[in-house]
Structure 1
């Protein structure tokens, strides 16, 4: 069932896959974010209650969604790394952590900016906000744990265990507005039978949600490729890659010199 994972246990294969996917994710992120942001900020109708202040939704909701999605992905990679002993999956945990932490921080900041005119306060100890803050601390804990060990294999395994344990916070964030009496509004777009948001507002939001996903994927591909290079710095395939890059750079310089 999991045989499709086996080729990507090889560092060189995973590295090449990251750089094949990187330009696609980058272009998709640029196209969807530009289209969604322009549509949402300039052309979507104003909310009948919140006016134009609601437009921060086009950044708050995507970052909040993928703050949870990134952590769930970390937990899955951590589980794969520990159970199937795939080192690249453990490296992916650390590659995702700073990106997920940035998304979580942005979700908290944009939520505070949105909450000030709605609630009259920048911060309240609401169940959704508090559990999202805990998520940020979990991300920082994974990053700190990875950097606290000299042996990076041990560090990656410890970080993976924390990611797996901490994933229990994700459903708490998602269902907090249903389990407790909170100020935070309920779901608007996950009610697929009848989303409680106008289609004119919904479509640019969906574009930005996709855009932030592609940003996440692009940055993780770049970070994972770099982590693989650092981890395998002494391997023959990395030395061959460096020599090839040096040869191409030298040829390029000579070509420019001859042209001049």
Structure 2
């Protein structure tokens, strides 16, 4: 087990092992998003209060879940990089950041679109909305810090520290609807209680969430593999791999 983890932590080992995961992940992401999206957007029943405008959740909720999960993953990777100096962790964190920023933007924009028919406005300085906006700025800060230093290691350390400090915003996002008065509705899913919506509504949402996560993992693996080749271009195994592909 430890030998596998050690191999997975090396750029060469990760590059070889991750090749086996890409195709199944892409296929799973495509199938789950296609089935869940078609089911939710076209065939699930309309909400008795919100009508068809509720269907925005099939994009909004998976994007919001992913935006928060990616930042937690970045903070964990930053911790691994800072403590154990595993450069693969920093590569993965760097490749996650743009996707996390994109998902945060999608969550904010889709929430604004939903807010017009529901709240009558595009934006409210609501606790959940404001903390999600802060998350977006944290992503931008992490990305900017990587390019703000003359040395790559200096930028990597600064970005890792910001991610580890900024992760405190994640529980604030999650519990903001419970801690403060907020317009935002409570969580759609709860481990301890039955879903408030019928299965015809939450099952396609679950498929979309799983599809988004498969998409995230596939994109991260693909981009990390490219970053490995870029950073390790002087290594013998990379040169041999490039020669084989010519």
TM-score, structure 1 as length reference? 0.91
What is aligned with 1:241?
Answer: 241
After superposition, the C-alpha distances for 1:134-191 in whole angstroms (9 at most, x for unaligned) are 0011111111111222322222222111111110000000000000000000112124
Where do residues 114-133 of structure 1 align in structure 2 (5 Å cutoff)? 114-133=114-133
What is aligned with 1:206?
Answer: 206
Inter-partner Cα distance in structure 2 for 1:186 and 1:165: 26
Q: Is the 8 A contact 1:77 1:92 kept in 2?
A: yes
What is aligned with 1:77?
Answer: 77
Inter-partner Cα distance in structure 2 for 1:29 and 1:172: 29
Inter-partner Cα distance in structure 2 for 1:232 and 1:198: 51
Where do residues 24-39 of structure 1 align in structure 2 (5 Å cutoff)? 24-39=24-39
What is aligned with 1:257?
Answer: none
Inter-partner Cα distance in structure 1 for 2:22 and 2:240: 21
1:164 is the counterpart of 2:135:
no
Inter-partner Cα distance in structure 2 for 1:210 and 1:197: 18
What is aligned with 1:48?
Answer: 48
Inter-partner Cα distance in structure 2 for 1:218 and 1:147: 25
**1:27 match: secondary structure:** helix
What's the offset of the Cα at 1:213? 0.4
What's the offset of the Cα at 1:2? 6.6
Inter-partner Cα distance in structure 2 for 1:233 and 1:17: 19
What is aligned with 1:59?
Answer: 59
**1:200 match: secondary structure:** helix
Gaps of 5+ in 2: none
Where do residues 166-205 of structure 1 align in structure 2 (5 Å cutoff)? 166-205=166-205
Q: Is the 8 A contact 1:93 1:156 kept in 2?
A: no
Q: Is the 8 A contact 1:36 1:207 kept in 2?
A: yes
Where do residues 13-28 of structure 1 align in structure 2 (5 Å cutoff)? 13-28=13-28
What's the offset of the Cα at 1:226? 1.1
What's the offset of the Cα at 1:227? 1.1
Inter-partner Cα distance in structure 2 for 1:4 and 1:129: 41
What is aligned with 1:97?
Answer: 97
What is aligned with 2:151?
Answer: 151
What's the offset of the Cα at 1:34? 0.2
TM-score, structure 2 as length reference? 0.96
Inter-partner Cα distance in structure 2 for 1:9 and 1:33: 30
Inter-partner Cα distance in structure 2 for 1:34 and 1:66: 18
List, as ranges, runs of 4+ consecutive aligned residues in structure 1 with deviation greater than 6 Å.
Answer: none
What's the offset of the Cα at 1:122? 0.3
Inter-partner Cα distance in structure 1 for 2:75 and 2:30: 27
After superposition, the C-alpha distances for 1:202-222 in whole angstroms (9 at most, x for unaligned) are 100000000100111111111
